[in-house]
């Protein structure tokens, strides 16, 4: 969470070029891969997160949060939530 409007704008534009830490970039890389095709997540992806400083609990939390947002957005889309 941040109140830095420039950071938010940079993240919305392209997180890969935003001024974030290597740990934050590793987390976002993982969340994007999980979102695109969770079946492509491998042990190597978890090792990248560990190398960035996340432990098993952190990896679980990242996975659960990303998966929950994917789920709830699909439910909202299917029900037309937010559409006119």
Question: Each residue of 22-75: pLDDT tens digit?
Answer: 999 999 999 999 999 999 999 999 999 999 999 999 999 999 999 999 999 999
Query: Looking at residue 55, what DSSP letter applies?
Result: -
8 A C-beta contact, residue 19 and residue 10 = yes
8 A C-beta contact, residue 18 and residue 10 = yes
CA distance 32 to 30: 5
The residues spanned by each domain of the chain are: 5-79
Banded model confidence at residue 21, pLDDT cuts 50, 70, 90: very high
pLDDT at 15 exceeding the cut of 90: yes
pLDDT value at position 1? 65
**Among 3, 30, 2, 7, CA closest to 19:** 7
* Domain topology for 5-79: AhpD-like (1.20.1290)
pLDDT value at position 4? 87
């Amino acid at each position: 969470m941040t109140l830095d409007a420039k950071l938010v704008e940079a993240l919305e534009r392209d997180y890969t070029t935003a001024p974030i830490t290597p740990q934050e970039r590793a987390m976002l890389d993982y969340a994007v891969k999980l979102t695109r095709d969770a079946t492509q997540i491998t042990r190597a992806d978890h090792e990248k997160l560990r190398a960035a400083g996340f432990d098993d609990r952190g990896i679980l939390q990242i996975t659960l949060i990303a998966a929950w947002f994917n789920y709830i957005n699909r439910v909202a889309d299917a029900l037309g939530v937010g559409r006119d």
